[in-house]
Structure 1
Amino acid sequence: MRAWLCALALGALFAAEAVAADNRPLVTVGLVDTFSPEFYIHTYAPTVDRLMARLPEYKFRFVELEEQNIEKDIERLKPDFLLTSAGHYAALISKFGTHQVAVRLPREGRSPTQAVGSAVIVRSNSSYGKFADLKGGKLVVTDSHSFEGWLFASGAMRNQGIDPDRHFSMIYETNYGIPDVATIVSLGFADAGVLPACELERLIQMGAVGRDELRVIEESSGGKGCRRSTLLYPDAVFSSLPSVREDVLTRVTVALLSMPAEGRDFRWTLASDFRPTFELLRTLRIGPFVPIHSLSAREIWERYRTEILMTAVLLLAVIVHIVLLNILVRRRTRELRYALSETQRLSEETQRTRQRLLETERSHIVSELSSLFAHEIKQPIMNIALYAGTLRLLLKKKKTASAEEEDYLKKIYSEVERSSKIVDHVRAYAKPHARRREVCSISRFAKEAAKLFGPQHPELRIGTMPEGYVLADPFEVEFVLINFVKNAFAAVKGVKRPRVFLSAHEQGGSWHICCEDNGPPIADEVFERLGSLGASAKPDGLGLGLAIAKGLAEANGGHLEFCRLTPQGLKATLVLPRHCVGEEDGDA
């Protein structure tokens, strides 16, 4: 219908355009298809005639844009000017940069910014008085895409918290056909209808509707002007796009603003405030306020291309920053770990060096004290030997010595002799001397231990003692083994079933002389320092015995080994090189 009317109104103009010279500059004007047929006849056709008459040096091309595909049609047809409703003009500003050239002001409009609105009509005998009363009813509109024909009223309802899509049971569209909105409401086929403001007054004046047949609900005109149910907004906008040349824009603006109003129901002017229109778009969530989830991927890209690219660049920059930061953090962490490990290593090395110096110092002090003690104890030991000898001669002279007394005297002599050897060895360490080694039998050491400790310690067991030989100082080897056995006796003290086991075996060209016990477990820090000066598993131990034993073992070409047993106990091992009888013996 509208296309036919448009063709009828512009047929003569297009015919004149066909005979015009083709070398004139082309100016394209686009019309968005949301207006009534009366607009085409009474507004669009006179406006086109005015432009062609005042700008004959330009070749005009008039194209129609579909409301559903307005953005695609603008990109495809590339118009220089647009004739749209104020709502579509406002919706296109952000993307296409449309700029106001002129605004239509109808004769009954208050001002360019308060020119058009909508009226919601019902039958006069109905009980409807508010939008809320129409819940579940039927509504008829001219065009769901028309601002005057529906969107103004839809915005007013949404401002009251009413969702029109759910509020009505059905919404009809006449699409400007017959019967029209007023007729459908009058006949009762719909409970309410939406008309442009002043349309009801025009129908009453023409006699198409009785004066008391229909009424407007939610009337907000206040008795001034046409009855309406909504706010007033700017009317149609003639706008330019950024591609238009300045001289063309100036000529078109002058032609429209100077267009005579005589004989017409409108004139072209300028509007200073489109904020109500933007608020309406926000309320309806259309145009630039369309929810992003309702847009296709292409529409999202086209509308938010700049924002998407800026976000992508920012995100890429953040990712690069994070990656570089992680690389730097890992590098710094690696350097810090290396520095910490080096610091820890140096600290441990310093601690070990300090410990060695301390042990050396203590060893030197012990050596000095041992020499002093050996020097001072020599005379008391000799006195004990003399007193024992005197007592023995006295008893023989009196002939009163019993066998038991003779046995105790022999033991005293034996211990005195052993103490003298120890003193002599200690004093010998204080002076330079050649170490003397002998071929010693392994079984000899076991027999000496059994002879020394057997009667007082039944928990001592002697295991296999093969006939093997080592080249060593027998006194020093005996000292080491006696130290092992004494420590074992101290460890099993308090154990319900104490056990100390002495054995020997050959392994890898060396003799391993072992002393095992079933004493309580030893702490890790104590176990790791066994053999070091000052380390002792006994609460009252000084840590000198094993340290001296370690030094004696190493002096004889061997070493000490310690092993924890399961579930408890400790095995101390003296390892000495095996000696074959017949090899060259002598001093070492």
Structure 2
Amino acid sequence: MRRGVAILAAILLGVSELASAAAEEKTVLTLYINQEDVPSFMRDWVIRSSDAIAAGLPEYAVKTVWTTSEELKSSLDKGEVSLFIASSGFFRRLGFSGVRDLAGSMQDKDGDPNRSLGTVFIVRSSRTDLTDIPSLKGKKVLLQNGSGFFGTEAVLGEFGSEVSEKSFRSPEQQLARYVHIEKSGESVPSLLDHLAKGDADAVALPACQIERTAAAEDLDTSWLRTLSPKGSVELNCALTSGLYPGIVISGTPNLSANDAQAVTRALLSAPASDHLKWGLVTNYSAVDAVIRKFELSFDHRGEGIRSILLQYKNWIIGIAVLIVLLILHSVTVSWLVRKRTRYLQAALADQKRLQAESLKASRQIEYWEKIGTMGQMSSLFAHEMGQPLNAISFYVFGLKRLVSKPGAEIAPAMKKQILELLGSINEEFSRAYGIVEKVCEYVKSKRKEGTRQDLVSIVRQAVSSFEKTSVSGRRHEIRIEAPQSPIWVTAKAMELELVVVNLLRNSLQAQTDPEKKVEVTITVRENGNRAELCVEDNGPVLSDESMRRLSETVLQSEKPEGLGLGLSIVRMLVEEHNGTVRFERADPTGLRVVISLPEENA
């Protein structure tokens, strides 16, 4: 028999050790309980609820930890919490932190988890001066530790507009400005004893706690009175405040969705005890209203700003008005300054415009006076040069007769050279006489119609004449880029030669560096039904002011000795041929003059 008992004991010991080993292998799930939020009459029920959670999550070893609000908030911030029990106020103050409620407390009969707990203010019946919540201003109120939201936030909510004008960081600080709050760890009978002795003016307790304590300990409450009592269908208890959701069990993002569902199922299926059970809270609007009104959220980012705005409202308004007035003054002054500046700028612009127009008119008068003088000088020049040129012509003719006379004692080779020289002199005479005749035509305003001319031949003749007569001494190279076939235009050949010669002379005179070789490129081409003559040099870079002057009707020479007539003559002759002149900057330096003439069809 003893041997059988020993064997059975060994078996039981082995089973126990195996069970312990299995328990040790389970993952620990810690249930944090905020002891400041759980009224004393709910504590046994909360402990039994932790047992129900352990039964619903057999794969976990559920560990219960009682903590304070501050410690729980710190653990939540560190991400150490998966499951916790606290008041609905604590849960909602967390804001958008990812925490979700799983179940809320309620009365077992006809209970509503949205309206399951409130606050009652107890005073002595003899205190006729205490008639409502505002009458407690400046009085001493005792709060039992563990009343949590229903001892501070809910009490604060009952003061309403009495404290809504001020905002501080904690409910206790806000209440302290209107009532003297003192928290105590004593039991309900001890708190009532302080009230009877006059050590306090009122006691604030979670609703139903005094009824449950009176029933359990046979307390005499006939000498007590509920301050501003309210009726409640949900609670068969004395009540001063509104009703709110009670304590809430919540899960953080650390708790998986399956585990959260298992916790909710376990609590909803747990039997009621101590007249309490779990339900699903669907409406936190009453709690949220208190949190918003008194800025009780744990997120203090907007709290301090609103506090400052409320406390220093008058100063802020005054400063804002002053800033607005300063801004208006600044805007007005700036507008007046801009207006006066625009007037002055417009007047200055008008003055500059009138000065520019006056200078332009003066230049035009000076130019036309110069043209008139040149016309008179040209008339005198043409008249005086006619006779010498005729004499030269007669001398050349006589020399030719003399040399060609039979019997003249001149070697044949020498005779040939003399005749060639006389021929060249005669050609230059004809050219000079032609110029004199043109001058006479301009002076007498007699114009002859142009004839059909080859522009390429005119250009080549002009370059040949320029090379023969140029005495500048500057190193230069003139390139002609033209087609082999003729380009026909209606023109006076001598006038177009004069245009080319003037442009070539201008290119040589424009080069300021005496050591630099002057390079001029003359291009003759067809462009649609127009013939184009382009003269481009490698002179200095032209400024914007120089380019602007070239576009003026009256051209002003930039050379000290210049009369400003060269390019003016070019423009005048081209326009008389129904052509156009435009000036462009050459690349990389110099000037490009493009003359466009109407082409005559062959």
Q: Normalised by the size of structure 2, how large is the TM-score? A: 0.45
Q: What is the TM-score of this pair, normalised by structure 1?
A: 0.46
